[in-house]
Homo-oligomer: A and B are copies of this chain.
Amino acid sequence: MSDKHALPATLTYDPVTDRPQEECGVFAVYGSEDAGVLTALGLHALQHRGQEACGIATHDGSRFHVERYLGLVGENFTSADMPQRLPGNVAIGHVRYSTQGASVLRNVQPLYSDVRGGGIALAHNGHITNARVLREELVSNGAIFQSTSDSEVVLHLAALSRKSKLTNRLSHALKQIEGAFAFVVLVNDRLIAARDPHGIRPLVMGQLGDAVVFASETTALDMVGATYTRDVEPGEAIILSDGEMRSERFSPARAARPCAFEFIYFARPDSNIGGRSVYEARKEMGRQLAREMPVDVDVIIPVPDSGVPAALGYSEASGIPFELGIIRSHFVGRTFIQPNQDRRDMSVRLKHSANAAAVRGKRVLLIDDSIVRGTTSLKIVRLMREAGATEVHFRSACPPIKFPDFYGIDMAGQKELIAANMDVEQMAAKLEADSLAFLTVDGMYQAITGGPRNDRAPQLSDHYFTGEYPTRLMDHDRSLSAKEFQLSLLVDA
């Protein structure tokens, strides 16, 4: 009999811990009286890039207006008085997946600061890899930080720059930072959009009537009805001022090397990156996987929703039927109480349930876009067996993930990456799969870029699989060589 006085076990749904988390999306409009309203719509289309917080800043010709909230765009930027609350012809916006806990509103973007000559509002997707080094130096010189966000160093560098023009001060700041970034910045009524020297994070430009629009993904251009013009180039800053557009470089010209994971998981399938359809790339990764790693099964079953395009591609190339063998609930049940008498792990069922009609008595191939820690994968393999699958095979539509990211993706640490700690055979045993295989690195390149990896100048940021990082990692190297330095003495509520 159960002990009524013991705290009941709880049953937590945990996909968050088993899936990399994109940290941000940005959007901006220059030259439309609807700038604030359009930015809300654009951010809604980028909501998959960050659901914990959102913010919009506008400039009305004389003053800034900033609103920042925890929660979704659709919960916070839909009231009828938005045009009055966020007036102006220029706007920037941000969605964020906060890694520092839900309550830290002070880290929500756009960040804002009064500076000599006016004000700067800034939204950032990515990660500055020398932010801690810069911050330590700034604090030591008397700077006061309002957040623990790496993005704030840009504000300080611009504030401290002795250049006379404010836009020049921002360019001055951009030259001092390293890493991956897509910035949209309001400098009074001027808009600056800038992308990191390697083009790791995506940033596209579009046209909407007379207005210019910037977004992390093309799907946000589609949402507001803008037409895609071009990608912002690596190391390029595009400045809109007094109705004129000009382009500046703050680093040498270089081919973009976009993050492979945008293609694999983060970007919406209806977006294009560097002109390549994300949906097509994913299907092709599935087709390539079928060619590289065939298996004799009765049905192809995607791990929903992210495994669906690759599974369609695999089915197409292999001729094996595609079935919805797993039903995903859209009602999130973060934590339920685990029944006392139940000895199974029920947590997977809160989100996924087996469709026995498609599974029972079949040899099943599960396709997922990637395997990070493998914890959910194991639960899904077991779910298939409980539903009557006679064999359960597993394929990952990307290569084994062996190295962490330092460019704004909150993936597990290296110790938790299953592929960093086991070979494929061990992983198959761990996942209790009858077979396990991964797409090869060259297969991935083939699917995304149409050719093999150029090892001297790789076309993608593929450090997850190769360990080759496109930039120096100054903060990281520092904390490995010395003891970890603390970002702030403040423990926030």
Q: A44-B336, A225-B346 are in contact. Are A209 and B64 (CB under 8 A)?
A: no
Interchain CB contact under 8 A, A82 and B337: yes
User: 1/0 contact trace for A26-57 toward B, CB 8 Å?
Assistant: 00000011100110110011011001000000
Query: Which of B72, B152, B316 is within 8 Å of A321, CB to CB?
Result: B316
Interchain CB contact under 8 A, A63 and B491: yes
- Among listed A242-250, A355-363, A458-466, interface-contacting one: A355-363
Judge whether A279 is part of the interface by a CB distance below 8 angstroms. yes
Judge whether A202 is part of the interface by a CB distance below 8 angstroms. no
Q: Which residues of B contact A115 (CB under 8 A)?
A: 139, 142, 144
Q: Which residues of B contact A479 (CB under 8 A)?
A: none
- Among listed A125-133, A216-224, A364-372, A447-455, interface-contacting one: A216-224
Interchain CB contact under 8 A, A142 and B119: no
User: 1/0 contact trace for A321-359 toward B, CB 8 Å?
Assistant: 111100101111111111111101010011001111110
Interchain CB contact under 8 A, A222 and B353: yes
- Among listed A106-114, A193-201, A231-239, A430-438, interface-contacting one: A106-114
Interface size class, chain A: 35 or more
> Whose C-beta in chain B lies nearest to the C-beta of A490?
B64
Interchain CB contact under 8 A, B334 and A63: no
Q: A353-B219, A490-B112 are in contact. Are A160 and B139 (CB under 8 A)?
A: no
Complex Cα spacing A159 to B489, Å: 15
Interchain CB contact under 8 A, B349 and A33: no
Query: Which of B62, B106, B144 is within 8 Å of A144, CB to CB?
Result: B144
Interchain CB contact under 8 A, B80 and A8: yes
Judge whether A184 is part of the interface by a CB distance below 8 angstroms. no
Interchain CB contact under 8 A, B219 and A84: no
Interchain CB contact under 8 A, B118 and A144: no
Query: Which of B105, B140, B331 is within 8 Å of A51, CB to CB?
Result: B331
Q: A40-B337, A83-B8 are in contact. Are A270 and B329 (CB under 8 A)?
A: no
> Whose C-beta in chain B lies nearest to the C-beta of A349?
B223
Closest Cβ of chain B to A113, distance in Å, is 4
Complex Cα spacing A10 to B219, Å: 21
Interchain CB contact under 8 A, A324 and B346: no
Interchain CB contact under 8 A, A116 and B145: no
Judge whether A67 is part of the interface by a CB distance below 8 angstroms. yes
Interchain CB contact under 8 A, B116 and A339: no
Interchain CB contact under 8 A, A78 and B336: yes
* Count of this chain's copies in the oligomeric assembly: 4
Interchain CB contact under 8 A, A44 and B142: no
Q: Which residues of B contact A80 (CB under 8 A)?
A: 7-8, 10, 337
Q: Which residues of B contact A222 (CB under 8 A)?
A: 349, 353-354, 356
Interchain CB contact under 8 A, A40 and B336: yes
Interchain CB contact under 8 A, B142 and A331: no
Judge whether A318 is part of the interface by a CB distance below 8 angstroms. no
Query: Which of B40, B114, B161, B353 is within 8 Å of A223, CB to CB?
Result: B353
Interchain CB contact under 8 A, B64 and A337: no
Interchain CB contact under 8 A, A78 and B143: no
List 25 A–B pairs whose Cβ atoms lie within 8 Å, in order of A's numbering. Answer: A4-B83, A8-B37, A33-B340, A34-B339, A37-B337, A37-B339, A41-B346, A74-B331, A78-B335, A106-B146, A114-B488, A114-B489, A115-B144, A116-B141, A139-B159, A143-B159, A144-B152, A188-B489, A219-B327, A222-B356, A269-B324, A277-B356, A277-B357, A279-B358, A312-B322
A interface residue numbers (CB < 8 A to B): 1-2, 4, 7-8, 10, 32-34, 37-38, 40-41, 44-45, 47-48, 51, 62-68, 72-74, 77-78, 80, 82-85, 105-106, 112-116, 118-119, 139-146, 152, 155-156, 159-161, 188, 209, 219, 222-225, 268-270, 272, 277, 279-280, 308-309, 312, 316, 321-324, 327, 329-342, 344, 346, 349-350, 353-358, 488-493
Q: Which 3 A-B pairs have the closest CB atoms?
A: A277-B357, A74-B333, A142-B160
